[in-house]
Structure 1
Amino acid sequence: MSGRHSGGTGRGLRISALPQTLKVIFKLAPRQLTDEIALAKAEIKRKGTQLGVAGAFFAVALVFVALLVIGLMVAAIMGLATIMPAWLAALLVSAVCLIIAAIGALIGLRKFKAVMPLVPEDTLRGLRYDLGIAKEGSAFDARVLDPNSEQYKAAKAAKEAAAAKARAEREAKAAAQPELGPAPTEAELRHRLDQRRTNLTGARDDLGRELDLKTQAQTLLAATQARLQVGKAQLSDKIAGFGSSARSSAGTPTSADVQNLAGQLKDRWKPLAVLAASAAALAVLVRRLMKG
């Protein structure tokens, strides 16, 4: 997507453009969110690769630490070999290591068994029980929570069948979708996000201008003043035309002509007076809004 949103406000009232502006925003926002998620996945993948490289260096360091421990063990054996046979020194060091390893393994195994299983079974069972009560009420059978009961096995089989059916539907839906081509690169995602962000900025600015009461009032006031000036000019032309026609006539104008002219002037000035009063009231309102 390219180009900036060109829904400018212009000189006239643009409240009618509000639906189109909102349509642009609602159209671009989901795409922007989708690309943001795709960009986040790309960043996580890139950082995961970097983390893997760092882990490889840590593994190399651990290998050399293990070699260091082996060297220390050899040094201990050779040190004891100065006061006893070498084979006895090696056997003694190995026995000490075996005893330490056995003690640590036994303690760890006992503590590990004490906390098994790792999942909070009682809490999960209570949640399942509460959900069952909420769904079925008194008809809920608590035996479906017992792994050794037939009800539990039947419910598990039904759940697995439903999961398999849902998986098959997802696979069929994925196979029916057209090929969208290769996934965009991180640079392409950033470029698309910048362009769409520019479009959203333009749409948001247009929306703000369209909903700005001061701007709309100023536009309405300017249009009213322009119409008032046009009306005054037309009235002046009419009066000048009546005057020239009266002077060019052969006789003196009658009272009927004078009354007709006065009636026409009265009919012309009434809407102009109303228009002028409305413009004055609107000007006062705009000034108060600007001061506020």
Structure 2
Amino acid sequence: MPRQAREKGEFSTYHIIQRGNDRKEIFLSDHDKTRFVETLIKMKNKYNFIIYAYCLMDNHVHLLINDNGNDISKLMKSINVSYVLYFNRKYKRCGHFFQNRFISELITDDKHLIEVSKYIHNNPVKAGIVQRPKAYKWSSYGDYMGNVKSEFIDVSKVLDIFSNTRSKAIKEYQSYVNKIGNTVEIMDIKDPYENVKENTMFIDSIAHAKEILAYMLADRNLSMEECIVNKDIRNEMIRYLRKNSNLTLKEIGQVFGGISESRVSRILSR
């Protein structure tokens, strides 16, 4: 089916769902979930977007984000690429990781906002993992209850809708979240773009290769210049490009400052 244009605004809030390819797990341990949260914080600090809520399930993620003037697709790409690089390196894997492109719905008003936050925090309950949202560790619900102070979650926007008095707002929000069902239609995990492929890790151009390498090197606190000088790292990156792209040997050489096609071939044959 043809790709539908993603609805955007100048400063917009989105409910975002990103799930694993073929519904496979994207978190195999608590450390993986910790790493994803760290990635969220890192990208939040870099781009200054706002996170109202999140929930990490084993095979998908829910986010409630205000883009603060950034392009939401670029924000999600930066988050996804950083996490996938970590995951692939840790588990020595390659290929599709996330299923298609992320799906999103634009938040239209305050009622919609609080309903989506309720839905996100109830996701583990809906899945039968816990009986109450407060029992689930990997969501922002603890921030709303005042039990956790992670500092990167903005609870004010949602809680202020309930009351200007924080203690009263927390109590009313807790009661609201514990009520069964939602009163507005909310995007669910079912992906409306089943046939749309958008693998953010497959590299199809020199520009894309340089972008992906920039993420990989930043993760190691290295510059491209340092990569080119350090032959072990350079050769590792060359092999990565060969495995995860359709670039020719000549094009791979161009990515690394004009290495000859024959040298790239020798590096790959070792």
Q: Same fold (TM over 0.5)?
A: no
Higher helix share: 1
Higher relative contact order (CA 8 A, sep 6+): 1
Give the TM-score normalised by structure 1.
Answer: 0.20
Q: TM (normalized to structure 2)?
A: 0.22
- Larger relative strand fraction: 2
